[in-house]
A = this chain, B = another copy of it.
Amino acid sequence: MKIHNDLLLRVAKGEKTERPPVWLMRQAGRILPQYRSLRASLSGFKELVETPHLAAEVTLQPVDELGVDAAIIFSDILVIPEAMGLPYEMIEKKGPFFPNTIQSSKDVSNLIQGENAADELGYVYQAVETTVRELQGKIPLIGFAGAPWTIFSYMVEGSGSKTFSKAKKLLYADPVVAHQLLTKITNTTISYLKRKIAAGVNIVQVFDSWAGILSPAQYETFAIPYLKQICAAITEVPVIVFARGAWYALEEINKLDCAVIGLDWNTPAYFARQKLGNNRVVQGNLDPCFLYAKPEELVKASQEMIRSFNGHHIVNLGHGVYPDTPLENVKAFVNSVKAFRY
């Protein structure tokens, strides 16, 4: 399908444009009153993820409300462990919880993987199809998955954690089992992303949310090789890799065959450009808390950020937008980017 506003895709491919495209991580979520009211009528977060027409509805909510240059399919990175045979619950105000976790080679061998696991996620592909149909080619639709290390960290730890020390322990204490699990996650992620692409997403983002808790040596051993496999396998659409906190591995990430590299808000533009070069397409990276500032300060900061990256840049925050962010500030941010000209 022809995309009318294809600014994001053109920048991802390396084209120069008169302004950067803009979207926000978690733009489909609690910042929108229409999301909050729909969510309140449901049994829980997972009902929203697993009901295709609702996931599509929520995906579309920010499109007109915010005027962003891309939609991102509403879903959860943890659908992958569940499809592999490790179910989870989403506990209100606490986050994900896995009643069972992976600790041994036997646990890994009990998991299904690849196409068989991807078969379990029909509701995601249906949500993508519905969204694509309703978007009518207005803007691109982004699909996503967690990076293997991040998915691994939840499957071993069993929940969110400040340190993920149980997950990291397995890397040091039993690297063979760790690689077995990472391989199965990677195979599944590739199958899953290919199905999402077949269903209609125009670009995909891989979120390595817990990259920042690994040491440089561990990231090189347990994260980079699997990201490399994913980037090599996904040839149909551009791939964005966002490894939060992996400033120390930017040179390794730069070698990946991906179209775009996401940056968190810690990473100064000069540092990113020094490690990645001026022509690498980057995405980010305003501190999400800047959206609590006065709109005029926010607009100034957003324009400074755009100038500091100096092109080959997709504007976003350096992290998902926080739920209590004032909606008028989100709009001021998006509008300031759309008014910008290089």
Q: Footprint of B on A, CB under 8 Å?
A: 160, 162-163, 165, 168-169, 171-173, 212, 214-216, 218, 245, 247-248, 265-268, 271, 287-290, 292-293, 297, 318-319, 322, 324
Q: List 6 A-B contacts (CB under 8 A).
A: A160-B162, A172-B289, A173-B292, A214-B266, A215-B265, A247-B247
Contact A163 B322 (CB under 8 A): yes
Contact A169 B266 (CB under 8 A): no
Residues of B with C-beta under 8 A to A162:
160, 162
Contact B247 A289 (CB under 8 A): no
Closest 8 CB pairs of A and B: A168-B289, A172-B293, A215-B287, A169-B292, A172-B292, A165-B322, A173-B292, A215-B265
Residues of B with C-beta under 8 A to A292:
168-169, 172-173
Q: Which residue of B lies closest to A322 (CB)?
A: B165
- Of B163, B248, B293, the contact of A271 (CB 8 Å cutoff): B248
Contact A172 B290 (CB under 8 A): yes
Q: How many copies does the complex hold?
A: 2
Residues of B with C-beta under 8 A to A171:
289
A248 to B250, CA, bound (A): 13
A287 to B221, CA, bound (A): 15
Contact A169 B248 (CB under 8 A): no
**20 extra interchain contacts, Cβ-Cβ under 8 A, other than A165-B322, A216-B268, A247-B248?**
A160-B162, A162-B162, A165-B288, A165-B324, A168-B292, A169-B289, A169-B292, A171-B289, A172-B289, A172-B292, A172-B293, A173-B293, A212-B245, A214-B266, A215-B266, A215-B290, A215-B318, A245-B266, A247-B266, A248-B271
Min CB–CB distance A150 → chain B (angstroms): 14
Residues of B with C-beta under 8 A to A318:
215
A169 to B289, CA, bound (A): 6
Residues of B with C-beta under 8 A to A322:
163, 165
Q: Which residue of B lies closest to A213 (CB)?
A: B266
A214 to B290, CA, bound (A): 11
A204 to B297, CA, bound (A): 38
Residues of B with C-beta under 8 A to A214:
266, 287
Q: Which residue of B lies closest to A168 (CB)?
A: B289
Min CB–CB distance A101 → chain B (angstroms): 15
Q: Which residue of B lies closest to A95 (CB)?
A: B162
Contact B247 A268 (CB under 8 A): no
